[in-house]
Amino acid sequence: MRIGHGYDVHRLVPGRRLILGGVDIPWEMGLLGHSDADVLVHAVMDAILGAAGEGDIGRLFPDSDPAYAGADSLKLLEQVVERVRGKGWQVENVDATMIAQRPKLMPHIPQMIKNLEMILGEGRVNVKATTEEGLGFSGSGEGMAAHAVCLLSPAQ
Ligand code: MG
């Protein structure tokens, strides 16, 4: 078994879609980034890559590369899973936490889990959400953060 951790932050700005775990959430602001800025999927990818000792998404999908402009992060996750499978690993489970003051994410979590489990396998994903009680950049609504941990086991 191998364990990995991922952490990501994106800034909230007007005029961008808010996409978390592949769910397009109606909101007055969205996350700024080169790709679709799906902070949750980014943290999950970094956890998987970390567990496999394969670096991070910045190395794999550089934001200087126009190929990844507006990229669907779930498609990048598929590539990450293929890559670690090529190294002999499969995802045992992923546990992730979204940190956002608003909007309420709870109603969207089941669909986020479905989207991630389409790629990582049924029953292998847990997603939670918390606020930071109005403190810091998440509390002020300047941005959102996500943490994830992943366990890999030898591929069957
Ligand atoms: Mg990111």
Cα(44)–Cα(13) distance, rounded to whole angstroms? 23
- 35, 37, 38, 39 alpha-carbon torsion, rounded to 10°: 130
Q: Tell me the whole-structure pTM to 2 decimals.
A: 0.97
In angstroms, what is the span from residue 39 Cα to ligand 1's centroid? 5
In angstroms, what is the span from residue 45 Cα to ligand 1's centroid? 10
Instruction: Give just the sign of the alpha carbon dihedral 98, 100, 103, 106.
Output: positive
In angstroms, what is the span from residue 119 Cα to ligand 1's centroid? 19
Q: How large is the average pLDDT for residues 46-58?
A: 97
What tens digit of pLDDT does each residue of 123-132 get?
999 999 999 9
Largest Cα–Cα separation, the chain: 45
88 pLDDT above the threshold of 90: yes
* Residues comprising the chain, all counted: 156
How far is Cα of residue 126 from the mean position of the Cα atoms in its chain?
Answer: 12
Cα(73)–Cα(62) distance, rounded to whole angstroms? 13
Work out the pLDDT band at 156, boundaries 50, 70, 90.
Answer: confident
Residue 58's identity, in one-letter code, is G
